[in-house]
Amino acid sequence: MDATIYQRRIVIGAVLCAAAFALVGVRLVDVTLFKPRYTGVDAIDRPALARADMVDRNGELLARDLPVADLYARPHTLDDKAGAARDLARVTGADVRRLLDGFNNAKHPYVLVARQLTPDVQDTVMHLGLPGLEFEPSAKRYYPDGRATAQLLGVTDPDGKGVSGLEQGLDGRLRDANTAAVQLSVDMRVQYILASEVEASRQRFRAKKAGGIVMDVRTGEVIAMISLPDFDPNYRKVEADDSDHNIMAADRYELGSVFKVLSFALAMEDHTTRPDEVFSIGNGFRIGKFTIHEAEHMPATLTARDVLAHSSNIGTAQIALRSGPIRQAAFLASMGILSTLHSELPEFARPLFPAHWGTIETATIGFGHGIAIAPLSYVSAAASVVNGGRRILPTFLKTGADRRGAQVIKPETSAQMRELLRYVVTNGTGRKADIAGYDVGGKTGSAEKPGPHGYQSHVLVTSFFAAFPIEEPRYVVFVLLDEPHGTKETGGLALAGMTAAPLAGRVISRIAPLLGVPQRPVTVARENT
């Protein structure tokens, strides 16, 4: 009797186990073979595999995939479809009308409710107590530094594909299952300093846009890049006052007098002038039916050195005309100015320059009008002028290696230009970038913006290009303010010497110690005793 009872219990247990395994098997078949995923009407793709992390040059985390879940509902299990649609929309942010349309569509057994729900939202959904809800594991890209790296890093779409910034430019590498992390050239310490100083100046001078770049002149590594206004990449929403546009790479500007760095480099290279040569400035310089004027009052005569230091358009036009259009165009082409600069960033701007390059075009291009380029392209060319004269291209990946290429100007020309740029800061329009402890060389730029009826008086783009330490530059800093306004402290003026130059000086004073740039020795005079 006892044996029979035990045998029955064994049989019953075996049947229950078989039934349980059968049920699990049926469910697996249902999930893997017969479960379509729908948005209500159209099928969606399976989420991409997790992307690799991005880290800065010091290993600080910049971007990482976090576990989230996509929520699906089985409409046939919902007794109150309208109520379920309202509750799910309230909790997840989904569109209630889309949900209700999907729930009432008998053709689709599954409806996508919402994607990339965080664990706390998932928990709230579960507390609704609705039947027929299923979570599918997914991933959402998270950016710990938020706005500070917005346009630089870019964002991914809900399927984990890069759609802007380095997320797009490095998409293949980031999606490679064998990639542990992608290390960028960016130093977040410098990035935060550049961001805070540029934003402070944008607010102070009420500029529409602003940006900045810090680059190593030997490796081409971009240490920091800022474009303002920015946006919060974690929300994937661009509010009214935000922008996801990177003005430093994707916009082109007539940069004005910072372009004189290239004009003087050509003149020094070809020996068409010498720093102490005297030029007549006067009240205007006439070329055919055009007359070139100065932005500010100038002396009757200036040496070539002071033409650069005081940013004389008339003097620079005369120097540029000695080179002529053919040589000027060839030189700018060799510096990369006339071609599109490509980097790991997918955003870029093609240069604009005249189809007919004649006498007047040569003169105006000499002082930075009549040619529009991306700020990043300019930084690349100007860095080549000060780094010993070798072509350098920017990179956003950490390398640490000297990447300087072909010799585009002679080393002695580069040394001569460094002396001239130091003179601009000590004796010219760049005085407000002259900071204690570091020998900075640089050039101001104040360009009138073109409008529908010609150039707009007092509507400016101001910028400053700086290299430090100027005797043997390691880094360059470039800052730009789009339509700044003068203040009481500047006497209502918004020229680069009062807006962009002090901004660059503040950036350098803060980042130089972090980057290990030694201060120059301080000489203390002693009295004879």
pLDDT at 463: 98
Which tokens in the block code for residue 393?
A: 């291209």
Query: 30 CB contacts (<8 Å, ≥6 apart)?
Result: none
Strand (E) positions, 130-220? Answer: 133-142, 181-183, 209-216
* Residue 336 C-alpha from the chain's centroid: 20
Angle at 49 between CA 47 and CA 54, to 5 degrees: 120
Q: Where are the alpha helices (DSSP H) in 400-520?
A: 411-427, 496-514
Pairing between β-strand 181-183 and β-strand 53-55 as defined by DSSP bridges: parallel
pLDDT at 295: 84
CA distance 236 to 519: 42
Q: What is the pTM of this model?
A: 0.85
pLDDT of the chain, 529 residues: tens digit per residue: 455 655 565 655 555 555 555 554 544 444 444 444 333 333 334 444 589 999 999 999 999 999 999 999 999 999 999 999 999 999 999 999 999 999 998 787 899 999 889 889 999 999 999 999 999 998 899 999 999 999 999 999 988 999 999 999 999 999 998 888 999 999 999 999 999 999 999 999 999 999 999 999 999 999 999 999 999 999 877 888 999 999 999 999 999 999 999 999 999 999 999 999 999 998 889 998 989 999 888 999 999 999 999 999 999 999 999 999 999 999 999 999 999 999 999 999 999 999 999 999 999 999 999 999 999 999 999 999 999 999 999 999 999 999 999 999 999 999 999 999 999 999 999 999 999 999 999 999 999 999 887 888 889 999 999 999 999 999 999 999 999 999 999 999 999 999 999 999 999 999 999 999 998 775 554 444 3
Rounded to 10 degrees, the C-alpha dihedral 31/80/138/98 comes to 110
Phi, psi for residue 268 in degrees, rounded to 5: -70, -35
At the second CATH level, the architecture of 189-514 is: 3-Layer(aba) Sandwich (3.40)
Which tokens in the block code for residue 31?
A: 């999930």
Query: DSSP states of 365-434 as a string?
Result: HHTT-S-BB-HHHHHHHHHHHHTTSB----BSB---S----SB-S-HHHHHHHHHHHHHHHHHSTTGGG-
pLDDT at 477: 98
CA distance 181 to 61: 9
The region that residue 491 occupies, defined by phi over 0 for left and psi between -120 and 50 for alpha, beta otherwise, is left
Q: Which CATH class for the 53-183 domain?
A: alpha beta
487: three-class secondary structure by DSSP: coil
Looking at the DSSP bridge assignments, the partners of residue 397 are 184
Domain ranges of the chain: 53-183, 189-514
Which tokens in the block code for residue 496?
A: 């680069």
CB 217 within 8 A of CB 388: no
Whole-Å CA distances, 529 to 26, 523, 526: 101, 18, 9
Radius of gyration of the chain (CA): 31
98: three-class secondary structure by DSSP: helix
CB 443 within 8 A of CB 235: no
- What is the set of active-site residues? 257
CA distance 476 to 332: 20
CA distance 152 to 246: 7
pLDDT at 451: 85
C-alpha distance across the termini of the chain, in Å: 123
13: three-class secondary structure by DSSP: helix
Phi, psi for residue 477 in degrees, rounded to 5: -125, 130
pLDDT at 35: 42
- DSSP H or E run through 61: strand 61-73
299: three-class secondary structure by DSSP: coil
- DSSP H or E run through 292: strand 290-292
The residue type of 521 is: P
